[in-house]
Amino acid sequence: MELTTVWFTLIALLWTGYFVLEGFDFGVGVLLPLLAPRRDPHGETDRRVMINTIGPVWDGNEVWLLVAGGATFAAFPEWYATLFSGFYLPLLLILLALIVRGVAFEFRGKLDDPRWRRACDLAIFWGSALPAFLWGVAFANIVRGVPMNAAHHVTGNLFGMLNPYALLGGLATFAVFTLHGAVFLALKADGEVRYRARDLLTRAWAPVVAVAAGFLLVSQIEHGKAWTSAVAVVAAVALVGGVAAGLRGREGWAFAGTAVAIAATVTTLFGDLWPHVLPSTTSDAFSLTVHNAASSHYTLGVMTWVAVVFTPVVLAYQAWTYWVFRARLTRETVLGTAPGAGGVAGAEHGAAR
């Protein structure tokens, strides 16, 4: 297998890991005002429960994005340069949203002031909702292609990226990530937060499945291949299966189903894209492919050995983190009145005290 193919596949795997893991982070942030309303006398405690479910892992999940960006820069510098210039505004909005969200997580508990906590909660909501939507818009445009000239400069603008297919992609990622977050909360929390998450799953699954299936269908009609159509079917079946498991109270299987659905969808999109990395709608001769956008063979070879050595270490560490913080959280846990609450509170990173 050519090294360009290897690195295209690895980058697809990195984005898959990012969307599967950061997807439920985004979902929890979006659901914060819905599952823990301020009018509820226990609202503040329930918001702490929700934030603490992702407190030990959210920053580790974002590492997948950093590595995906770094791998793209090193393996396909022409792709990286064109993306970050042509998609400058949406990527800047995503970056700013992630920064504001991270600051809100870290500093929410630094001031014992309801107004401060309310501002941080709004930052967490919008810092989750905007990337959840804009990542779908960005990837839909990557698969669809953008106006690009012979110098590989994107000649379109932001409004051109807000085409119907891209907006459908953004709506699909926003909806699926939100559902993924609800399933994660049902798996990771207990008590009122868990029951509200399961109730939301009961009420919201139908439109989410419809939007996701619509996006997959349009993607395959416009850009699909035979094998990616099969993977798209796997994504749809996994999503429906995850919903069915969630409705029966099988949260672990439900989370596995939504995770597989997201992973299969990312696989479908990268498969539809291959061998391009960024198609040109101006002329196919101007498109970027894994061949004309790649680094030298020597560079790819060195990177491959580095990935072989360090990737298992990173995966093992992250798996260990999830194992350590596998216990369900309750109101009693975050208030410090449950057995073992001290250990959990010590891992909150100051996000929800």
pLDDT tens by residue, 312-324: 988 898 899 899 9
- Region 57-79 average pLDDT: 92
Residue type, 95: L
Q: How does residue 210 score in pLDDT terms, banded at 50, 70 and 90?
A: very high
What pLDDT score was predicted for residue 342? Answer: 45
Its pTM stands at: 0.91
User: What is the per-residue pLDDT for 109?
Assistant: 86
Question: Is the pLDDT reported for residue 337 higher than 70?
Answer: no
Single-letter code of the amino acid located at 67: V
- Residue range(s) defining the domain that contains residue 106: 3-199+279-345
Q: What average pLDDT score do residues 198-217 get?
A: 95
Cα pseudo-dihedral 96, 132, 277, 142, rounded to 10: -100
Token pair of 243 as six digits: 């919903």
Confidence of residue 331 (pLDDT cuts 50, 70, 90): confident
**Average pLDDT along the chain:** 90
Within a domain: 319: yes
The structure tokens listed for 145 are 């292609």
**Confidence grade of residue 338 (pLDDT, cut at 50, 70, 90):** low
pLDDT at 1: 66
The predicted structure's pLDDT at residue 132:
97
How many distinct structural domains can be found in the chain?
1
Cα(3)–Cα(8) distance, integer angstroms: 8
CA distance 194 to 139: 32
Residue 349: phi and psi, rounded to 5, are 60, 20
Question: Has residue 229 been placed in a domain?
Answer: no
Strand partners, 154: 148
pLDDT at 345 over 60: no
CA angle 303, 69, 143 (to 5 degrees): 110
Average pLDDT over residues 228-251: 94
| Between residues 290 and 346, the one the model is more confident about | 290
Q: Is 218 contained in some domain?
A: no
**How far does Cα 11 stand from its chain's mean position?**
14
Question: Percentage of residues in the chain with pLDDT exceeding 90?
Answer: 75
Residues 6+ apart with CB under 8 A from 172: 136, 211, 212, 214, 215
Question: In which band, very low, low, confident or very high, does the pLDDT at 334 lie, cut at 50, 70 and 90?
Answer: confident
Report yes or no: 40 and 62 within 8 Å, Cβ to Cβ. Answer: no
65 close to 99: Cβ distance less than 8 angstroms: no
- pLDDT for res 340: 52
